[in-house]
Amino acid sequence: MHGSHDYKSFILPLFVSLLRNADAQTCSALDGYPRVDNQPLRPNDLPAVQLFNDWQNSTVSILGNDALLLNVSSGSIRQAGYSNYTSQVELLSKIVTAEEVSRMLQLLNSPQTSLDQDPDTVDGFSTQEFFLDNDSLRNGESGKPGFESPEQAEHRRELRQALQNIAQPILEERITPYVNQRFPTCQGRCTPCYSLIRRYLYGERQSHAPHRDGHSFVTVVVSLSDYGTDYLGGLYVASETSHPYYLRLQQGDAAVHQSDLLHGVKVYPVETENGLHATRWSWILWFRDSEQCEDESHVWFKDCAEKGNPTCQMMHATKVSSIPGISSEEAMKEVVFWNQKAAEMGHATACVKLARALLGKLPSHLKKDRKEARKLFLRAIESSNDPDAQYGMATLYLEDASTNVILGRPNDDLVKKAVAHLEASALGGHPFAMFNLGMVHMMGYGTKIDHALAGEWFEASGLPEGLAARSMHYSSMGEPEKAAEFQRRAQSLGFGAPWRVLARESTGYGGAGGIDFNLPWPPNESNRVPPKW
């Protein structure tokens, strides 16, 4: 729990107490929300993996290398909001050979190889990655200053060099020439300024929240694992956060896209005779349009923002603070201006950011306006069925319900509406909503207490806190081995780390803060509220 190591002393007895009194605590079913036979949403009801199949295939030769022919599949994904703008993604088949992949995996699977455990800037989990090249390394420092021990840094120098010996020819002869040829705006200057390896493993990190690579002019993701054999799901692209389409990447295939593409990762296990397993290794490259790796991102989205592209407007808002000579006050006004332009076109991310600013949860010069924030959440739901907006509406209803408790007014309808929005948010993949559905069924908000379903939702969230809650649930059921396994999984993602709470608050779901993981639940029928994590 938040700032404390004695969470078990509170939550574990709470689980046990709820199990003993489950039959005595019931609430009416939710009204006005579609479900089969009026039953609550369950993790098994979440959408199945849907593959992206709308490809146009072609063969591309690299200029200056007539012997190199690439099989390229090109796809187009509609961007968020009411506009008809699109983002592009391409798959390069076998850009890395099977022999090269094998050599890289042999190094990465060594028992001596360790991965970074620092907080990720997208979801606040431990990163489970390893940099081959970045600004720090080029300056003669460690890959992540402050997060590597001297012993780890020494071993990594040897590992990094061995991996670079494999990677550098691939970059120089294939990937970088393709990027510069494919994207004329590179003007031949695009350079792989960041190179890293990331691992997704069943029972540890299995996801990366939906986001856009605002720091990268072009992103290349090379799969070192096979879809269908090593894992299911994996890298996905999306128009809206709530509708991911997964890319079937085999060993050596690469996905190529620019920073306007919404994407994420969700790895699912493969079922075998020996049980469930999933391992997905990726080699990720972030290019800048500078041979010296200078950051010129403040101009990347300016032109298309001025031409009315709402995704560019939202992305440009994230970059205005780096415009040379701009003051912090001017930058804040520009951030609001460009997000307002994008929100007018129904861009969900811009709507949600503005709503949070109007609620005082993100810094801005705007006056608090709860009514306008609600309108923006509803616009994001209308345009994109956005999970963050659904979660925002649930928060507003619970705040109203808690106020009603103080005023002595009924709050059942407000709680039911909040739960309905949480279910809609969970259907869109929001882990905070899934965790709070665990609280719904643990505490009996708008439904009867169901400790088994609560445990399922805690696990489905994939959050460190959710896995820790699942561990406590198994402890309360007298299953110590399962409890220990889920506690291990929670800690592998950062649960209990000194940085986890701050990282969670600053990243939210996909890199934008201003979202509260601990919702303002009113007391339940037993006059209890969920613990703070």
Range with the largest mean pLDDT of 66-70, 83-87, 457-461: 457-461
Strands 244-246 and 65-78: unpaired
Q: Report if residue 448 sits inside a domain.
A: yes
Half-sphere exposure of 521 (CA within 13 A, CB side): 26
Give CA–CA dist 112/492, Å, rounded.
17
CATH of the domain at 393: 1.25.40.10
Domain count, the chain: 3
Q: Report if residue 353 sits inside a domain.
A: yes
Same domain (yes/no): 339, 301: yes
Give CA–CA dist 384/386, Å, rounded.
5
Same domain (yes/no): 270, 335: no
The pLDDT score that the predictor gives to residue 390 is 97
Q: Report if residue 519 sits inside a domain.
A: no
Beta carbons of 83 and 310 less than 8 angstroms apart: yes
Coil, strand or helix at 77: strand
Query: Please, which pLDDT band fits residue 149 given cuts at 50, 70 and 90?
Result: confident
Same domain (yes/no): 84, 199: yes
Same domain (yes/no): 327, 444: no
Same domain (yes/no): 157, 266: yes
CATH of the domain at 109: 2.60.120.620
Please identify, among 382, 415, 441, the residue that sits at the C-terminal boundary of a domain: 382
Please identify, among 254, 288, 322, the residue that sits at the C-terminal boundary of a domain: 288
Considering only 92-101, 219-228, 257-266, 270-279, which range has the smallest mean pLDDT? 270-279
Beta carbons of 259 and 79 less than 8 angstroms apart: no
- Quickly count: other Cβ atoms within 10 Å of residue 106's Cβ: 10
Query: Please, which pLDDT band fits residue 39 given cuts at 50, 70 and 90?
Result: confident
Q: Give 401-448 pLDDT, tens digit per residue.
A: 999 988 888 888 999 999 999 999 999 999 999 999 999 999 999 899
Same domain (yes/no): 265, 306: no
Tokens standing for 223? 């799969």
| CA-based radius of gyration for the chain | 24
Same domain (yes/no): 74, 156: yes
Q: Report if residue 406 sits inside a domain.
A: yes
Q: Report if residue 90 sits inside a domain.
A: yes
Beta carbons of 220 and 253 less than 8 angstroms apart: no
Same domain (yes/no): 205, 310: no
Give CA–CA dist 17/29, Å, rounded.
22
Same domain (yes/no): 378, 424: no
Range with the largest mean pLDDT of 16-25, 27-36, 441-450: 441-450
Give CA–CA dist 70/479, Å, rounded.
53
- The conformation of residue 227, written as its DSSP 8-state character, comes to B
Please identify, among 382, 406, 438, the residue that sits at the C-terminal boundary of a domain: 382
Same domain (yes/no): 284, 193: yes
Asked if residue 30 has pLDDT above 60, the reply is: no
Q: Report if residue 40 sits inside a domain.
A: no
Q: Report if residue 521 sits inside a domain.
A: no
Asked if residue 12 has pLDDT above 90, the reply is: no
Q: Report if residue 36 sits inside a domain.
A: no
Asked if residue 4 has pLDDT above 70, the reply is: no
Residue linked to tokens 């790895």: 267
Quote helix, strand, coil % in the chain, to nearest 5.
45, 20, 40
Range of the structural domain that residue 113 is part of: 56-288
Q: Give 79-115 pLDDT, tens digit per residue.
A: 988 889 999 999 999 999 999 999 999 999 998 898 9
Same domain (yes/no): 347, 408: no
- Quickly count: other Cβ atoms within 10 Å of residue 460's Cβ: 20
Same domain (yes/no): 111, 195: yes
Q: What's the Cα-to-Cα distance from 195 to each of 70, 75, 133, 288, rounded to whole Å?
A: 22, 24, 5, 12
Beta carbons of 483 and 464 less than 8 angstroms apart: no
